Structure 1
């Protein structure tokens, strides 16, 4: 039995399921070294600079805030990330053995970013609002130590099950319900090397960044076979890079194989996030 398999068996499936079906978010402290996180930060800084110079290279997610979808091979730690035993254990426990990576990108709230409206990342699928099953996950990794003034991510535990049929675009709850989310709200302040997993349906928002620092966060999206989030993205791998991947990993990537990487048409735009909220 491989060391990796032994490590995976040490993760408590009940704890994973309880966290994601209960609060809607879980985390693993110190999953990666600070050096690994710093390297990721270097890669994201370069990619962000390039995206800002390219027409439609970055999607606005509010004032002074952007999202950029990237190619897996644009970051040096992609294989480390998707083969991490905790990531694999969480995916298998919640999404089943045939889970697929469908998205990788990063979110950057810069100094001056304001509160986002409370939202979920896409409408609740039938699997969730009827079947009470979570069929997709978002993993987040910070590239900096997050302080309270840096616009921490804020989440309202348990709201992945909220009926969103009356939400605007089935994603944005009415402002009259904000007090419910504010009462539940938990601010997340991870450190370099930490990783979290959440249901993107759990109501959340980025908060105002009052610091003079940006807060880059990598986003990895993973689907169960019944989900269709791959349609919102364009995950590409070069055939050359794909051939270097472990065979056990290839079956878990929903991608388009290309001879040369193509510029990604940033498609997962969330129009109502662009204006932000007044504090």
Structure 2
């Protein structure tokens, strides 16, 4: 596992990071973690997913055979490794500034039989982006499997984080007559275990149909610049016992509630329009 450097920007180029996220809207780092670490992450997610499906409101449908589950940071063994990785820190510092905040941790699971999602953004573009032309949030993704073409790869239309959404439904879903634009730009991502990616959730994207017999779980980490307020869609909780074990410089990065005991999360970040029948 890579250890955090004192200054992440010494190792990773700020201009290159900003160019990727302000241009295509997505970038990544291959081999950020070893496969043993990812295998443990996959085990943790599998257990959490099984538990979530058993309780009302434990998972939110993102279309047939597809779920999202928000979790607690201490539910996964590798949380601290992830958020203190020097590349993750460098990306956040470069795009969101030195006072960025971690606001979300969860996972998506496209199961066998999942269908193409509609092209979408994860939420409406904020005024910082519409008027200020500034990105104020990022989403990191870590796959727990080696993605193959038949497993419903993530598909993104680079550069579309700047698209005018005035004709989009809920400011998130472009009308079907716009689809040719996104299909013409579409890139499918096939990361391997150990890779990590980061994107603007405003870049138009979708999950594709999973024709395989294997699920494609992916961890999601949400990070905000000051004032972005995406924490209002989530409920990041950390027990005082776990909080006390965290590195001091990480504690100030967490937009969370400190609790004596973790409370069950009722999934609240439902993306209107992705509810294409029962999950």
Q: If the TM-score is normalised by the length of the shorter chain, which range does it land in? A: over 0.9
SS at match of 2:232: helix
Residue of structure 2 in register with 1:53 after alignment:
54
Q: Which runs of 5+ in 2 are unaligned?
A: none
- Paired residues for 1:106-185 under 5 Å: 106-185=107-186
SS at match of 1:104: strand
CA distance in 1, matches of 2:4, 2:80: 17
CA distance in 2, matches of 1:180, 1:156: 8
Cα offsets for 1:238-278 (capped at 9, x unmatched): 011001000010111000010000001211001310117xx
Residue of structure 2 in register with 1:256 after alignment:
257
Q: Which runs of 5+ in 1 are unaligned?
A: none
CA distance in 1, matches of 2:4, 2:216: 34
CA distance in 2, matches of 1:84, 1:24: 21
8 Å CA contact 2:4–2:85 kept in 1: the answer is no
Residue of structure 2 in register with 1:32 after alignment:
33
Instruction: Establish whether residue 43 from structure 1 lines up as the match of residue 44 from structure 2.
Output: yes
SS at match of 1:68: strand
SS at match of 2:37: helix
SS at match of 1:272: coil
SS at match of 1:51: helix
Q: 1:258 to 1:47 in 2, by over 3 A?
A: same
Q: 1:133 to 1:162 in 2, by over 3 A?
A: same
Offset of 1:196 from its aligned partner? Answer: 0.3
Residue of structure 2 in register with 1:202 after alignment:
203
Q: Structure 1 residue runs of 4+, over 3 Å off?
A: none
SS at match of 1:210: coil
Q: 1:45 to 1:124 in 2, by over 3 A?
A: same
Residue of structure 1 in register with 2:11 after alignment:
10
Q: TM-score, normalised by structure 2?
A: 0.97
Q: 1:247 to 1:51 in 2, by over 3 A?
A: same
Residue of structure 1 in register with 2:86 after alignment:
85
Cα offsets for 1:2-32 (capped at 9, x unmatched): 9612554110111100000000000000000
CA distance in 1, matches of 2:74, 2:4: 26
Residue of structure 1 in register with 2:229 after alignment:
228
Instruction: Establish whether residue 62 from structure 1 lines up as the match of residue 63 from structure 2.
Output: yes
Cα offsets for 1:129-171 (capped at 9, x unmatched): 1000000000000000000000000000000000112210000
Q: 1:130 to 1:6 in 2, by over 3 A?
A: closer
